[in-house]
């Protein structure tokens, strides 16, 4: 008996990405906006790292529980 | 020996406790502790208590041989265990009734230790049978009562004996036990193993225990194969507590001079009036426009904690419990604590230690920051979700804020929920066939009214194994009304397209139209991958996601 292979789910849609002219936000504007966001995000992550280092330093000087 | 007692917990619990104190005086030095627990019993009729004497409790035995046996005065080796059942049961009924019936009546067990302080030993009580309401985690405990194997769903609880186990060791013991029962990669640590673990790096003796500081709590968790994170005095501390409680990940909560386990949160408040919530609404000015946000922590009724000084499943809030223990440590401050000093106290003294599993590289603080920077403070995104959902005034008035909720979950649990709760066939197929990382962060955005129906409008998923330095910042999918992108499924297309454009832009024989597209990319700064993702999101309509979807339930409702 031949074994039938049944596809249960559809393969993912293959979309061609074309930056549209007259789209909601132009590629350049969107890219610039995201670059700013990215810079800000990196800065905030450094802040979190510093805060966490301080957090450990504080824990070392704390009384016991 | 086993003895059966039957009593009415509402009326004659005092008589019951009195007879226990008379029958087993060595084990009931603090009868008030037992009364507090019995006060939680929900059952209105009679309750049967089966008392087993000479019970060998492994937690107490461990402390006994390492510590109590070495004392001059006499300490008993054995404990007394009491198992509670709803309804009156005699020995014949207990033996003959089928297991399902006995289990359906089983409230749980409490071990009583022969100690002056800390008489409550290991306790496993089913919160469904107690007056506890909310969403929290439990594990399945197996026990043998009078020769019958029974199971109960509970979170481990015990009180501190103040000599071998203080609050920190008790919390650690119960928390590790919970994870060990639930997940095979962890192992239960006995009280003395916990102390030995600390001893290796401690400069003082560890027995009798003098308590542990937060960094050593984290160390013990590390040694038990967790990957803990410690937060104290950090920005948005209350949000972190809420995020981890929502994630269904029990954690250790450090308070002034005390430690408890937080295992979830209370019920969602009903019939919410906006004037009650307004103090919690946060206004952010972005590009000269005001947006209003409300964390879902304002909508829940406190947190459920296991505090070894109280009865199990104690409901409290961040402010309440911090003020309570701060006053205990500083009795002079009673009546003088105001909101601003409490904020300072929380910043100075509160801490949480979260036993994260392996491979969660983005923790709550980082996940929140990604969500904040890329979505919750991005006017382009916020305006787009308002327009897409056609909700005028949503997020732009203090009466109708964006209500957000962040949590961590496993993709298995999440997919299972989505496949069951989604009606869109295309979306079901997506969850059935798309590979996800083991752990994901989820942000849901809704409104106060949608939250009342447990629904949200926007869902953004982050890959917990990623980082902000990856080209997609860890974003896995973004979904709201008629907008849906799943980044891995379009990444191939984006990558090949970007590569092609970069090559083609240097070829003069291109058509004018192609050149204009390429030029736009050439001029665009260095976020091409991310730009493509957001370009897709804003411009390619996809009808998989409708206006609202049912919110994911990460915790078991009790």
CA distance B18 to B341: 44
Question: Would you say residue B520 has pLDDT above 90?
Answer: no
**Measured CA distances, B336 to B323, B324, B333, B339 (Å):** 10, 12, 5, 10
Question: Would you say residue B55 has pLDDT above 90?
Answer: yes
Q: In 10 A of CB B482, how many CB atoms?
A: 15
CA distance B80 to B101: 25
Assign B418 to helix, strand or coil: helix
Q: Chain B contact for A29, CB < 8 A? A: no
Residue of higher predicted confidence among B514 and B407? B407
Predicted local confidence at residue B244, as pLDDT: 96
Say if residues B51 and B80 touch (Cβ distance below 8 Å): yes
Retrieve residue B291's tokens: 């947006």
- DSSP tag of B41: B
Condensed to tens digits (0 to 9), the pLDDT of residues B149-179 reads 999 999 999 999 999 999 999 999 999 999 9
Predicted local confidence at residue B334, as pLDDT: 83
Computed from CA positions of residues B336, B340, B341, B343, in that sequence, does the dihedral angle turn out positive or negative? positive
Condensed to tens digits (0 to 9), the pLDDT of residues B102-124 reads 999 999 999 999 999 999 999 99
Band the pLDDT of B558: cuts 50, 70, 90.
very low
Paired sense of beta strands B475-480 and B139-145, if any: unpaired
Nearest Cα residue to B120 out of B4, B241, B18, B38: B38
CB contact under 8 A, B517 and A30: no
DSSP for B446-505, written as a single string: E-HHHHHTTEESEEEEEETT--TTSTTTTEEEEEETTEEEEHHHHHHHHHHHHHHHHHHT
Nearest CA in chain A to B165: A65
Mean pLDDT of all residues in B481-504: 80
CB contact under 8 A, B516 and A34: no
CA distance B339 to B53: 49
CB contact under 8 A, B538 and A24: yes
Say if residues B429 and A7 touch (Cβ distance below 8 Å): no
CB contact under 8 A, B210 and A64: yes
Band the pLDDT of B427: cuts 50, 70, 90.
confident
CA-based nearest distance A2→chain B, Å: 25
Band the pLDDT of B323: cuts 50, 70, 90.
very high
B97, containing H or E segment:
none
CA-based nearest distance B476→chain A, Å: 15
Burial label for B426, CB within 10 Å (0-12, 13-18, 19+), is middle
Q: Chain B contact for A18, CB < 8 A? A: yes
Predicted local confidence at residue B63, as pLDDT: 96
Contact residues on chain B for A49, CB-CB shorter than 8 A:
none
Question: What is the distance between the terminal CA atoms of chain B, rounded to a whole angstrom?
Answer: 34
CA distance B475 to B537: 12
Question: Would you say residue B322 has pLDDT above 60?
Answer: yes
Q: What is the ipTM of this complex?
A: 0.84
Band the pLDDT of B413: cuts 50, 70, 90.
very high
Contact residues on chain B for A38, CB-CB shorter than 8 A:
473, 527, 530
CA distance B486 to B498: 18
CA distance B348 to B320: 16
Closest partner residue to B493 among A14, A31, A64, by Cβ? A14
Q: What angle do CA B396, B402, B408 make, to 5 degrees?
A: 155
CA distance A20 to A24: 9
Contact residues on chain B for A60, CB-CB shorter than 8 A:
213, 215
Retrieve residue B376's tokens: 């919750």
**A-B contacts (CB, under 8 Å):** 159
- Which residue numbers in chain A have pLDDT < 50? none
Residue of higher predicted confidence among B359 and B462? B462
Retrieve residue A23's tokens: 């789209």
**Measured CA distances, B132 to B36, B126, B219, B265, B369 (Å):** 14, 10, 32, 11, 34
Nearest Cα residue to B256 out of B333, B314, B179, B194: B333
Retrieve residue B271's tokens: 């019939």
> B237-246 and B339-349 are packed helices; what angle lies between their axes, rounded to 10 degrees?
70
Half-sphere exposure of B272 (CA within 13 A, CB side): 23
CA-based nearest distance A28→chain B, Å: 5
CB contact under 8 A, A19 and B534: no
| Averaged pLDDT of chain B | 90
Predicted local confidence at residue A14, as pLDDT: 57
Question: Would you say residue B513 has pLDDT above 70?
Answer: no
Q: In 10 A of CB B92, how many CB atoms?
A: 8
CB contact under 8 A, A65 and B538: no
CA distance B378 to B487: 19
Contact residues on chain B for A18, CB-CB shorter than 8 A:
497, 517
Mean pLDDT of all residues in B412-430: 89
| Lowest mean pLDDT across B47-61, B227-241, B327-341 | B327-341
Nearest Cα residue to B342 out of B321, B371, B360: B321
Residue of higher predicted confidence among B323 and A12? B323
Nearest CA in chain A to B349: A62
CB contact under 8 A, A59 and B232: yes
Closest partner residue to A18 among B231, B257, B517, by Cβ? B517
CA distance B282 to B299: 14
Q: Chain B contact for A43, CB < 8 A? A: no
Nearest Cα residue to B258 out of B390, B152, B170, B368: B170
B475, containing H or E segment:
strand B475-480
CB contact under 8 A, A19 and B473: no
Question: Would you say residue B364 has pLDDT above 60?
Answer: yes
CA distance B281 to B292: 6
Mutate to test the interface with B, among A59, A60, A61, A63 (most CBs of B within 10 A): A59
Q: Which residues touch B511 (CB under 8 Å, ≥6 apart)?
A: none
CA distance B18 to B190: 32
Contact residues on chain B for A17, CB-CB shorter than 8 A:
490, 493-494, 497, 532, 535-536
Nearest CA in chain A to B536: A17
CB contact under 8 A, B493 and A37: no
Nearest Cα residue to B87 out of B49, B60, B124: B49
Say if residues B194 and B157 touch (Cβ distance below 8 Å): no
Q: Tell me: cis bond preceding B208? Omega within 30 of 0 counts.
A: yes
- The pair phi, psi for residue B76, each rounded to 5°, is -80, 150
Question: What is the distance between the terminal CA atoms of chain A, rounded to a whole angstrom?
Answer: 70
Question: Would you say residue B366 has pLDDT above 90?
Answer: yes
Closest partner residue to A65 among B254, B521, B530, by Cβ? B254
**Measured CA distances, B243 to B173, B239, B323, B442 (Å):** 23, 6, 22, 10
Assign B404 to helix, strand or coil: strand
Band the pLDDT of B512: cuts 50, 70, 90.
very low
Q: Chain B contact for A4, CB < 8 A? A: no
CA distance B353 to B408: 16
Predicted local confidence at residue B60, as pLDDT: 97
């Amino acid at each position: 008996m031949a074994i039938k292979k049944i596809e249960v789910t559809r393969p993912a849609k293959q979309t061609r990405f074309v930056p549209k002219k007259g789209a909601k936000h132009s590629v350049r504007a969107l890219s610039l906006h995201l670059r700013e966001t990215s810079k800000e995000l990196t800065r905030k992550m450094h802040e979190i790292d510093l805060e966490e280092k301080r957090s450990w330093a504080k824990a070392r000087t704390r009384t016991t529980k | 020996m086993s003895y059966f007692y039957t009593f009415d917990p509402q009326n004659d619990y005092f008589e019951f406790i009195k007879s226990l104190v008379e029958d087993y005086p060595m084990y009931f030095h603090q009868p008030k502790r037992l009364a507090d627990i019995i006060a939680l019993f929900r059952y209105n009729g009679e309750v049967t208590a089966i008392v087993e004497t000479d019970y060998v409790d492994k937690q107490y035995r461990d402390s006994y041989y390492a510590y109590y046996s070495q004392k001059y005065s006499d300490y008993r080796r054995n404990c007394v265990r009491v198992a509670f059942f709803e309804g009156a049961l005699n020995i014949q009924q207990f033996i003959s009734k089928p297991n399902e019936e006995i289990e359906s009546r089983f409230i749980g067990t409490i071990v009583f230790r022969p100690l002056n302080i800390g008489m409550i030993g290991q306790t496993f009580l089913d919160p469904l049978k107690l007056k506890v309401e909310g969403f929290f985690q439990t594990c399945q405990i197996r026990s043998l009562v009078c020769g019958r194997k029974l199971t109960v769903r509970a979170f481990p609880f015990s009180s501190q004996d103040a000599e071998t186990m203080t609050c920190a060791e008790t919390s650690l013991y119960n928390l590790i036990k919970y994870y060990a029962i639930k997940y095979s990669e962890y192992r239960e640590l006995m009280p003395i193993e916990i102390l030995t673990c600390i001893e290796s790096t401690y400069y003082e003796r560890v027995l009798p225990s003098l308590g542990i500081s937060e960094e050593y709590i984290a160390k013990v968790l590390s040694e038990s194969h967790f990957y803990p994170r410690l937060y104290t005095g950090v920005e948005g501390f209350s949000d972190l507590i809420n995020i981890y409680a929502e994630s269904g990940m029990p954690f250790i909560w450090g308070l002034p001079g005390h430690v408890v386990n937080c295992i979830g949160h209370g019920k969602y408040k009903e019939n919410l009036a906006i004037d009650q919530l307004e103090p919690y609404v946060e206004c952010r000015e972005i590009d000269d426009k005001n947006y209003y946000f409300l964390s879902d922590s304002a909508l829940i009724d406190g947190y459920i904690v296991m505090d070894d000084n109280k009865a199990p499943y104690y409901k409290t809030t961040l402010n309440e419990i911090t003020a309570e223990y701060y006053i205990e440590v500083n009795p002079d401050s009673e009546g003088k604590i105001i909101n601003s000093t409490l904020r300072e106290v929380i910043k100075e003294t509160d801490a949480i230690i979260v036993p994260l599993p392996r491979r969660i590289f983005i923790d709550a603080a980082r996940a929140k920051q990604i969500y904040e920077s890329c979505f919750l403070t991005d006017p382009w995104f916020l305006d787009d979700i308002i327009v897409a959902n056609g909700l005028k005034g949503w997020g732009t008035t203090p009466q109708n804020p964006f209500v957000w909720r962040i949590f961590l979950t496993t993709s298995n649990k999440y997919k299972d929920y989505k496949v069951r709760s989604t009606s869109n066939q295309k979306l079901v197929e997506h969850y059935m066939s798309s590979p996800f990382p083991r752990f994901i962060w989820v942000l849901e955005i809704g409104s106060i009214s949608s939250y009342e129906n447990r629904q949200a409008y926007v869902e953004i998923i982050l890959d917990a194994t990623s980082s902000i330095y990856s080209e997609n910042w860890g974003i896995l999918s973004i979904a709201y009304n008629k907008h849906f992108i799943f980044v891995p499924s379009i990444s191939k297309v984006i990558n090949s397209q970007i590569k092609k454009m970069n090559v083609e832009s240097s070829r003069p024989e291109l058509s004018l139209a192609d050149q204009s597209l390429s030029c736009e990319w050439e001029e665009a700064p260095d976020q091409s991958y991310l730009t493509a993702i957001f370009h897709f999101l804003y411009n390619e309509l996809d009808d998989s996601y409708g206006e609202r979807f049912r919110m994911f339930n990460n915790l078991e409702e009790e």
